[in-house]
Structure 1
Amino acid sequence: MLLVLGLGDNVVDRYINTKTMYPGGNALNFAVYANILGIKASYLGVFGDDEAGKHVYQTSKSLGIEMNHCRFFQGENGYSEVKLVEGDRVFVGSNKGGVSAKHPLGLSKIDFSYINDFDIVHTSCFSFIENDLVDVRKYGKFISMDFSNRYTEDYLERCCKYLDCASISCSEMKDEDITQLMKNIISYGCKHIVIATRGSRGALLLVDGKFYEQSPCLVDAVDTMGAGDSFITAFLTGYINDMKYAVDFSDESGNKGITKIEEYKDLIVRANLYRAAIFSSSICSCDGAFGFGKSYRK
């Protein structure tokens, strides 16, 4: 069975037009979406002791996310402020990580031993994890990091050498600029996959040197929060699981099985891109990243 870990950020997304907060955050979303897809998922991050932190923690726990290695500190949980414009979420502010910025994870030997148990470890540029990436790389089997649209070439060069997969959000960029950036990310050391989400234009992928394009599954979105995170989660979990099966098959069948890995790899990529587009569109039918709204008072 595939085991995955969301490592790093959690927040509440505070919708200023309705005064409702929803659990979210890139690393936590990865764990929750994997759980929705029937995959055993865990989360390791930092929570504040305010109402927002309690809501995110209790909701995630109720969904079956394993969180035994999380940290808890006195102070304000991370939050972002959001408004909806015709179903599209627009970020308008944040507290820049709250307690997680003041108390980064600072992973220990026990944590690294824990990380070694997982098939995929997914983190983000919002997770204050940069100083730990060298050791996460030593212990993690497959490391994924989402840079959202908060990246510079220097930052990508600093982080990508530790990654198997890098994801970027680039809906405002031209395709030729996106493909060049994806090639740059590989040149910085990212080993296997680059995912570029483009909003309503769908996604571009670079998998072991080959480009793919996936059109979106267009729906009348209630809320686009989590659309990119859910796409990344569905693709990576499906792809890694299918490739893991193919490798297991080759172990049993020798060279014939190894040939089949190459024969079916392209099909595996395309099938999981389509699966990811369908799953992402379904997430756009709920409020927030995955629901569970709660009123807040500023």
Structure 2
Amino acid sequence: MKVIGFGDNVADVYLHTRTRYPGGNSVNFAVYAKQLGIPSAYLGAFGNDEIAAFIRQELTSIGIDLSRCLQRDGENGYAEVNLVDGDRVFVGGNKGGISTQLPPVLSKDDLTYMKDFALIHSGCYANVESELPKLRRLDALVAYDFSEESKFRTDDYLGRVCPHIDFALFSGGHLTEEEITQLASRVRVYGVDGILVTRGSRGPLFFCGGETYAGTVEYVEPVDTMGAGDSYLTAFLIHLVQSGWKKNQLPSREAILSGLQKAASFSAKTCLIDGAFGHGQSF
């Protein structure tokens, strides 16, 4: 089993400590999978600046396959993070830089390479919606992160993305349970088999096969919550695939329940380190 993150990469730049960390939804997925013992890769576009070199260096040291990545002339993505009233919040950045301005267009060679992967993960900030139909030619399951912004929950956007994916993730800490249920119903219309909605300390809800599953969280005193949702998603997805989930086939109830628990434990550990997965560099 191998998995791949397809999309953006950024440096999370912590202004209050003058430290930057590698990150980005697709990168985090690849790294967390590697931490769980799964061979993983990342496919995306890097810039040609200092931040790009830093991220590539750290991902290579972790053992992430970057062999199909592109390097383009331009500024790599970064997000500025600061400490506001005790919480780390995003305060600026360049909206993904070159990785979203000129995202990869999947070639025949790329798709041949991706045939070896059981699971592909991407997200709404990667600007790769046009490439998702190509992934449907593969046997891999496709997961997609819609984040928390309402613009990624419109009928137009769901209609562009959902027919080409198997698993949808939403951040729904600001939504009521009724709103979450309605959202899941809208997504299910497009044939999406699994819908996970994280709700922070309230625990996630997972919709699958007409059933609703309530997950739990493991409470820790967090050092940094960066990457908590990504790590939860990664651990949950990998457990489902390892338990036999395949395209057009629902995971078992037992796999779902045990996967939700494993994901909670893994996500809690992520909250005990700085950055999404450490590897900080002072600047």
Q: TM-score band (shorter)?
A: over 0.9
User: How far apart in 1 are the matches of 2:195 and 2:83?
Assistant: 29
1:189 deviates by: 3.2
- Give the residue type in structure 1 aligned to 2:102: H
Give RMSD over aligned pairs: 1.7
- Give the residue type in structure 1 aligned to 2:269: S
The aligned runs of 1:129-278 (5 Å cut-off) are: 129-150=128-149, 151-153=152-154, 154-190=156-192, 192-243=193-244, 265-278=252-265
User: How far apart in 2 are the matches of 1:113 and 1:101?
Assistant: 23
- Give the residue type in structure 2 aligned to 1:287: D
Structure with larger Rg: 1
Contact 1:87–1:223, Cα closer than 8 Å, also in 2: no
TM-score w.r.t. structure 1 length? Answer: 0.89
SS of 1:243 mapped into structure 2: coil
User: How far apart in 2 are the matches of 1:269 and 1:87?
Assistant: 35
1:128 deviates by: 1.3
Q: Percent identity?
A: 45
SS of 1:178 mapped into structure 2: helix
Q: Does 1:281 align with 2:268?
A: yes
TM-score w.r.t. structure 2 length? Answer: 0.94
1:102 deviates by: 2.6
1:84 deviates by: 3.5
Contact 1:42–1:65, Cα closer than 8 Å, also in 2: yes
1:152 deviates by: 2.8
User: How far apart in 1 are the matches of 2:85 and 2:243?
Assistant: 37
- List gaps (5 residues or longer) in structure 1: 248-260
1:283 deviates by: 0.2
Contact 1:88–1:225, Cα closer than 8 Å, also in 2: no
User: How far apart in 2 are the matches of 1:83 and 1:224?
Assistant: 13
User: How far apart in 1 are the matches of 2:202 and 2:132?
Assistant: 31
User: How far apart in 1 are the matches of 2:120 and 2:86?
Assistant: 30
12-21 or 225-234, which deviates more: 12-21
Contact 1:121–1:140, Cα closer than 8 Å, also in 2: no
Q: How many residue pairs end up in the alignment?
A: 278
Residues 161-202 of structure 1: CA deviation (Å, up to 9, x unaligned): 101001011111111101110111111332x10010111111
**Bigger helix fraction:** 1
User: How far apart in 2 are the matches of 1:15 and 1:140?
Assistant: 39
SS of 1:218 mapped into structure 2: coil
